[in-house]
Chains A and B, each alone.
Chain A
């Protein structure tokens, strides 16, 4: 089995002292790593910004730009922030070591460096970096980029905050019946194509899919990052979704497959956005009356026989030229008062 602790890595040695630089480079090359070197902090940062590495071995006492300044610049640079640094120095005084660690250094090795210790520390640092990279990759795959950014900027905390946003619900009409008429492999393939098209429409209008369930999903426009014209964006995304399904149906007809239809409900207003779940497992979600209304509107598309339905709050924020038809007040289950419902033309051209 391949031991990842000793897998070759790209390393950068930063030291103004030629003997130290040559010695450390040699030791690391003998451990099988690919090593480049820089003679001061300024050169090192230039190299790192051009060619990122897996690990930096950084001397502190250097002319032009010392190690402390390098650490400071790295911590403030999103591109370099996560790159691990092992300080290799013969600095005197524990206060200096503490300062390095506080500035984000992963470890500290006193010179002259013991080769066995060097190997162990590098192995541990690389392994930690690999796990971090893997974690980031997993987060990227299972969470929207907006959520990843929000988590990176603000950290994770259960609980929510009130936001002004637009919720969108969508599902495939008669999906259960359709699924029963074809093999499951074909259903999965259909779902994957459907989701790819819908995610694209949502994402390209600044929205984010928060929940997926079977053939249905919920998307939010305006959270976690604020979006000034979230209602307009959501409605445009809904129109694009309907158009994309029409194009998709064109392809399906060509191979003698039945067309599919979607229903979309859009509602705007205040909602609570945040992370719900447990400390171990949580998801970004939006809840509140506005979200419930969007779900009700989506369900009502079956009765209204219109692909996109929206509420008065969304309607009021749309551009004047958006094709909208008032369907009158509808009494929804769980709502005290009747809600004014509007149908949005499925395609921007046919408005």
Chain B
């Protein structure tokens, strides 16, 4: 993996622009919201709801990029754009990979919050 879990420059810009305290609170919000989005993604996969799948991927992409979680953002973007054209098992695999990447992101962000 050439892309780091969190692009530090992106996060630092965010913290600088909005204040360190706010950035920490925003991490908390993301850590609460992201599992809901991932859940949404899995449910959409099961119920074959293409629109819901795309929307959940879209939200995840948007938030991941906000914190500099560029790899997670790129994976979510692929699902958003190509999800409809992908086979179910392909999508299922991609969602598993997304889950794993999110776990790394969550750990990294938790560490940064407690810095």
Report A's interface with B, CB cutoff 8 A: 16-20, 22-23, 26-27, 30, 61, 63, 90, 92, 111-112, 115
**By the criterion CB–CB under 8 Å, are A111 and B33 in contact?**
no
A61-B55, A92-B80 given as contacts; is B18 within 8 A of A20 (CB)?
Answer: no
A61 to B61, CA, bound (A): 12
The interface stretch among B42-50, B62-70, B96-104 is B62-70
Given contacts A17-B62, A22-B25, A22-B29, 17 further A-B pairs with CB under 8 A are: A16-B59, A18-B33, A19-B26, A19-B33, A19-B63, A20-B62, A20-B66, A23-B66, A26-B18, A26-B19, A61-B55, A90-B58, A90-B61, A90-B65, A92-B77, A111-B62, A111-B65
**By the criterion CB–CB under 8 Å, are B59 and A23 in contact?**
no
A19-B30, A61-B55 given as contacts; is B18 within 8 A of A27 (CB)?
Answer: yes
A66 to B25, CA, bound (A): 27
Asked if B108 is an interface residue, CB under 8 A from chain A, the answer is no
Asked if B81 is an interface residue, CB under 8 A from chain A, the answer is yes
Asked if B17 is an interface residue, CB under 8 A from chain A, the answer is yes
**By the criterion CB–CB under 8 Å, are A115 and B65 in contact?**
no
Contacts of B33 in A (CB 8 A): 17-19
Q: List 12 A-B contacts (CB under 8 A).
A: A18-B29, A19-B30, A19-B33, A19-B63, A20-B62, A22-B29, A27-B18, A30-B18, A30-B19, A61-B59, A90-B62, A92-B81
Q: Which of B22, B33, B59 has the most CB of A within 10 A?
A: B59
A30 to B21, CA, bound (A): 14
Contacts of A20 in B (CB 8 A): 62-63, 66
Contacts of B10 in A (CB 8 A): 112
Q: Interface residues of B: mostly helix, strand, loop or mixed?
A: helix
Contacts of B26 in A (CB 8 A): 19, 22-23, 26
The closest CB in chain A to the CB of B55 belongs to A61
A115 to B25, CA, bound (A): 18
A90 to B29, CA, bound (A): 19
Closest chain-A Cβ to B31's Cβ sits at a distance in Å of: 10
**By the criterion CB–CB under 8 Å, are B63 and A17 in contact?**
yes
A18 to B80, CA, bound (A): 19
**By the criterion CB–CB under 8 Å, are B29 and A61 in contact?**
no
Q: B18: which of A16, A17, A23 is its contact (CB, 8 Å)?
A: A23
Contacts of B14 in A (CB 8 A): 23
Contacts of A111 in B (CB 8 A): 62, 65-66
The closest CB in chain A to the CB of B36 belongs to A18
Closest chain-B Cβ to A157's Cβ sits at a distance in Å of: 45
Closest chain-B Cβ to A247's Cβ sits at a distance in Å of: 65
Q: A17: which of B19, B59, B77 is its contact (CB, 8 Å)?
A: B59
Closest chain-A Cβ to B94's Cβ sits at a distance in Å of: 17
A17 to B33, CA, bound (A): 9
A63 to B65, CA, bound (A): 21
Closest chain-A Cβ to B10's Cβ sits at a distance in Å of: 8
Q: B17: which of A16, A27, A61 is its contact (CB, 8 Å)?
A: A27
A97 to B8, CA, bound (A): 30
**By the criterion CB–CB under 8 Å, are A26 and B65 in contact?**
no
A16 to B59, CA, bound (A): 9
**By the criterion CB–CB under 8 Å, are A115 and B17 in contact?**
yes
A344 to B14, CA, bound (A): 77
Contacts of A22 in B (CB 8 A): 25-26, 29
Contacts of A17 in B (CB 8 A): 33, 59, 62-63
Contacts of A63 in B (CB 8 A): 55
A122 to B27, CA, bound (A): 26
**By the criterion CB–CB under 8 Å, are A112 and B65 in contact?**
yes
Contacts of A27 in B (CB 8 A): 17-18
A26 to B21, CA, bound (A): 12
Closest chain-A Cβ to B105's Cβ sits at a distance in Å of: 13
Q: Which of B19, B26, B65 has the most CB of A within 10 A?
A: B26
